[in-house]
Amino acid sequence: MNKDVNTILNNLSKSKFRSSFHLNKNMKDYCRKKGKNKITDDAYYFINNRLRPSIIKNDGKQTPMRQVHPVFIAQHACACCCRSCLYKWYHIEKERELSDKEINFIVSLLIKWIEKELSVK
Domain that holds residue 61: 5-119
Number of neighbours of residue 2 by Cβ within 10 angstroms: 6
pLDDT tens for residues 35-65?
Answer: 999 999 999 999 999 999 998 888 777 888 8
8 Å CB contact between 39 and 94: no
When divided into structural domains, the chain yields a total of: 1
3-state secondary structure of 17: coil
Task: State residue 31's pLDDT score.
Answer: 97
> Around Cβ 85, how many Cβ atoms within 10 Å?
20
Compare 6 and 98 and report the one with higher pLDDT.
98
Indicate the pTM of the whole model.
0.92
Q: Classify burial at 42, counting beta carbons within 10 Å of its beta carbon; exposed 0-12, middle 13-18, buried 19 or more.
A: middle
